[in-house]
Structure 1
Amino acid sequence: MQSRDNTPGQNHQEPTYLPVPFPKAPPKEPRFAALRAWWETAWEEDGILHNMWQDVLSAPDAGLRHMALWLRAVLMVAGVSFAVLMARAAGEVVLQALHQLLTAVPKVQVGVDTSSGVAAVVDQPVRTYIAQHSAGLPVDGSTVYTLWLLTGIVGLVLGYVTRNNGVRAMWTAWGTATEQHPRSACPFRD
């Protein structure tokens, strides 16, 4: 067996399968050099970022009417977005409160005489009617009764506060629809 040592006196031949060295590539410019160059020119005296920063700094003195249009647009979009988010949150709170009101744990007993005096004249026939006609509905009779009460209260309060004839007409229609039909049985009629 022949030794592969590099000792003088032996006839040693270089293997032909070694890779050929490639010339080195010229050095690349830094990765973010173009971005850094743009950044520096944008912050120069008449650069875009310098001018925008000057618009922001002069906005409190200029007021809303004379500030830069782009800054006014940004403020308006931010304000409208905030108003939409607040309206959505308020709507969720109102809907959750209405859901709790309509699905309250102590259910209103529909069809049972729980009122007395003058309130019973209107209340008891409505409870009886709702008890008789809410059997096939997807909501409970107590929910229908609560909605009936809520409609009357809202119509009365809004009609008084807003002095709007449409809301007053709604409350009048609510009262008229509540009035008992003459042929139906009323415990207070002879």
Structure 2
Amino acid sequence: MQSDDKPTNGQHNLNFFELFNQLSPVPPAPEPNGPGRLAWLRAAWKASWQEGGFLYERWEEVGQARHVSWYEIASWIKAALLFGGLSLIVLMLDAAGDIASATLKGLSDVPAASAGDGSGLWGTVDHPIRVFLADQAAHLPVAPAALYAFWQLTGLVGLVGGFFGNAGARIAWLLFGSGSLAMIWSTTPAGGRAAATGLAALMWALASIFALRGLTLRPIVHNHPPQFQPQFSPALHLHTTLPAPALPGDEPNNTNPPQL
């Protein structure tokens, strides 16, 4: 079995299994785990941890992994990290699925709750929603209390998630508020429908201060300095050949005129 270790000082590095083959043979002991076999294993272990040994090189690669880039890390360390990361992701997805299943099952098993008498400021907004969900649950295979608990959970997730800037939570918060206003408008008696809906809209607007924190409708303008553009200056170059000046006493030679 060949080793993939890099040569140190021009010599081939032996892996852990090749060390066993190159050690001096030990006479077989009468017992399977006799002192001779243990000494041979002990010598192989020490030789592997010496400079240039298999385990020594692997330990050096582990120490260098903290200071080099991903492409320079040893392949076996990359494989171990990828395998551990994938295993962690699978465990997290499995746990998230179990939590979601238990939550939905718990919402379905919530006992029926009283719709309340609708008194008070909060009852003016909350009571129409309870009545609307109870009427709709009569045509659905789910308890009214489960629908009301899910409505509350959606609002809580949208409020908390929107406060931390999550885009999906903010969308859920907008749908939660719009649906709540629609339920209040359709269930409240005609005499107080506008007042109850307006009161709910004000409450939703005040809560949106936290859920939509930092959201702005102003366009974002990015001012970037102009990039450097090379400038070209075209020029025309003319090459002419001038005749040598004539010396005194030489006859003029007009056979070779100047060339452009």
Distance of 2:84 and 2:142 partners within structure 1: 40
Alignment of 1:1-190 (within 5 A): 46-47=14-15, 49=17, 53-64=55-66, 65=68, 66-69=72-75, 71-99=76-104, 101-109=106-114, 112-113=115-116, 116-162=119-165, 164=166, 167-179=169-181, 180=183, 182=185, 184-186=187-189, 189=192
CA drift of 1:85 comes to 3.7
Percent identity of equivalent pairs: 23
Change (3 A) 1:138 1:98: same
Aligned partners of 1:98, 1:182: CA distance in 2, in Å?
A: 30
Shift >6 Å, 4+ stretches: none
Gaps of 5+ in 1: 1-37
Kindly provide the amino acid, as one letter, of the partner of residue 79 in structure 2. V
Q: Which SS does the other structure have where 1:189 is aligned? A: helix
* Partner Cα distance (2:110, 2:116) in 1: 19
TM-score scaled to structure 1, two decimals?
0.58
Following TM superposition, by how much is the alpha carbon of 1:48 offset from its aligned partner in structure 2, in angstroms? 8.0
Separation in structure 1 between the aligned mates of residue 97 and residue 168 of structure 2, nearest angstrom: 27
Letter of the structure 2 residue corresponding to residue 68 of structure 1: A
Q: Could you tell me how far 1:117 is from its partner in structure 2?
A: 1.4
Q: Which amino acid aligns with 2:87?
A: F
